[in-house]
Amino acid sequence: MDRGKSDELPKMQCGFIDFVCAFVYKEFSRFHVEITPMLERLLNNRKEWNALKEVYEGKLAAIEGAKTAKEEAATAKQAAAAAAQSQSKTCIVG
């Protein structure tokens, strides 16, 4: 795993459980009843990873919102500066 993506581990775990593990355990539990408790634990584990994923996504959304607000403020400031520069400082025509 890439150390730079350690924050995305809950999302990756949910994907792995959904697309690999759950299918295998469901199919095996159909033929071997003793695997059913393992499937139940897997699904419980997925709920825990999903809760961590939602926390991460909430933090990510907050960061993105702050970034967007900062960019909008910078754009507004640049527009105001451009408007101020377009006016002559020495001559006022009225």
Digit-coded pLDDT (tens) for 69-92: 999 998 888 887 777 676 666 666
Place 1 in a pLDDT band, splitting at 50, 70 and 90.
low
Digit-coded pLDDT (tens) for 50-75: 999 999 999 999 999 999 999 999 88
Place 48 in a pLDDT band, splitting at 50, 70 and 90.
very high
Q: Is 23 exposed, middle or buried (0-12, 13-18, 19+ CB in 10 A)?
A: exposed
> What's the pTM?
0.67
Residue-level pLDDT at 89: 63
Residue-level pLDDT at 94: 58
Nearest-angstrom CA–CA distance, 16 and 82: 51
- Residue closest to 22 by CA, chosen among 9, 31, 13: 13
